[in-house]
Amino acid sequence: MKSYTLAKGIIKAISFFLGIALLLVVLYQVRTLIIYLVIAAVLALLCRPLVFFLRRRLNITKTYGAIIALIAVLGLTAGLVYMFVPMLAEQTKNVALYDSENIQKELDKIYVKISEYSGTSKKAVEDVVQDSEIEKKVTGAMDDKAIPTVLDTLLGIMTQLSIGLFSVLFMSFFMLKDHNSIQRFVLAMVPVAHRERTLNSLEKIKNLLSRYFVGLVLQIFVLFIIYSITLFLVGTENALIVAFFCALFNIVPYAGPLIGAVLMAVLTITSHTEMDFSQETLPLVGYVMIGVAVGQLIDNFISQPYIYSNSVKSNPMEIFVIIIAAGLLFGITGMMVAVPAYTVLKVILKEFFWENGFVRFWTKGI
Asked whether residue 114 is assigned to any structural domain, the reply reads no
Cα 345 to Cα 47: distance, rounded to the nearest angstrom: 23
What phi and psi values does residue 355 have, to the nearest 5 degrees?
-70, -25
Asked whether residue 154 is assigned to any structural domain, the reply reads no
* pLDDT single digits (tens) 131-167: 545 444 444 444 444 445 655 666 666 677 777 778 8
Asked whether residue 11 is assigned to any structural domain, the reply reads no
Asked whether residue 332 is assigned to any structural domain, the reply reads yes
* pLDDT single digits (tens) 206-256: 888 878 888 888 888 899 999 999 999 988 878 888 888 888 888 877 778
At 225 the pLDDT is 92
At 109 the pLDDT is 57
Mean pLDDT over 25-51 rounds to: 81
Q: How many domains does the chain have?
A: 1
pLDDT at 325 over 80: yes
Asked whether residue 228 is assigned to any structural domain, the reply reads yes
Cα 187 to Cα 194: distance, rounded to the nearest angstrom: 9
Q: What is the pTM of this model?
A: 0.67
User: Is 260 in contact with 291 (CB distance < 8 Å)?
Assistant: no
User: Where is pLDDT greater, at 47 or 144?
Assistant: 47
Mean pLDDT over 97-107 rounds to: 56
At 125 the pLDDT is 45
Asked whether residue 207 is assigned to any structural domain, the reply reads yes
Asked whether residue 351 is assigned to any structural domain, the reply reads yes
* pLDDT single digits (tens) 162-203: 777 788 888 888 888 776 666 776 777 777 777 788 888 888
Asked whether residue 318 is assigned to any structural domain, the reply reads yes
Task: Measure CA of the first residue to CA of the last residue in the chain; give whole Å.
Answer: 50
Q: Which residues contact 68 (CB under 8 A, 6 or more apart)?
A: 50, 54, 60
Question: Which domain range does residue 227 map to?
Answer: 190-366
Task: Give the mean pLDDT of the chain.
Answer: 75
